[in-house]
Amino acid sequence: DVNNNFRWATAHVANVRRENVEGVSTYILLKYHQLVITEAALQQLIHNLQNFPKERGWLMRCATPDAKPAPRPEMVPGWNEEWKAMKERLLHAEFRAKEMARERKKWRWSSDLKGPLKIPSSDPLTGFRVRDFSARPKAKPWEKYELHELYTDDEPLESGAEHEAELALLEEQLDLRDHVMQADDRRETVDDVSKFESDRLEGVYEGDGD
């Protein structure tokens, strides 16, 4: 980089060489152990390296497989019929000035360097809202706590040994109930109730015993 202060400060120092960006070469960069370069010079050097193949004409001039200019496409018949009909309608309209002003309000000049020169004045997607339809939607900012954080069970789960003891006790109770029910079924019952009305309990018992 052209810097007079640096040139004057290093004029009396041995083994110091000052070069501009235009004069820098690979031999000079590899010859010295240390390199001091300014930010502006570095930007200019990067720019020169990136544009060097283009300046030398090494790049393809045409983006075709054979690097030759592509043929001009044929004009599609009727490609501007709609535009011409709109212009004719505006030209022969009864209120031509009003129609043209209304048509001009629909479009505006674009400030982008790429793309069409004119774009619609109003974007149809301005009021469009994107909804989240994912299976796991994100929590709202105002939802500070989740349900599992509010309702938690601090008591630890019961161990397997306690469950086994409860199952053994339940099985014993069921076996005892079945045994009692079987004993009730084997017990003899009195079918004729009139015997209790006529005779005494001892006589009924003695008669049943005979």
The distance from CA 108 to its chain's CA centroid, rounded to whole angstroms, is 34
Read off the pLDDT of residues 43-64 as tens digits, 9 standing for 90 and up: 998 998 888 888 888 887 787 8
For the chain, percent of residues with pLDDT exceeding 70: 73
pTM: 0.31
pLDDT of residue 14: 81
Question: CB under 8 Å to 18, separation ≥6 — which residues?
Answer: 6, 7, 10
Read off the pLDDT of residues 154-206 as tens digits, 9 standing for 90 and up: 555 555 566 677 888 888 888 888 877 776 665 555 555 555 555 555 554 45
If one counts every other C-beta atom within 10 angstroms of the C-beta of residue 100, the result is 13
- The more confident residue out of 163 and 101 is 101
pLDDT of residue 107: 87
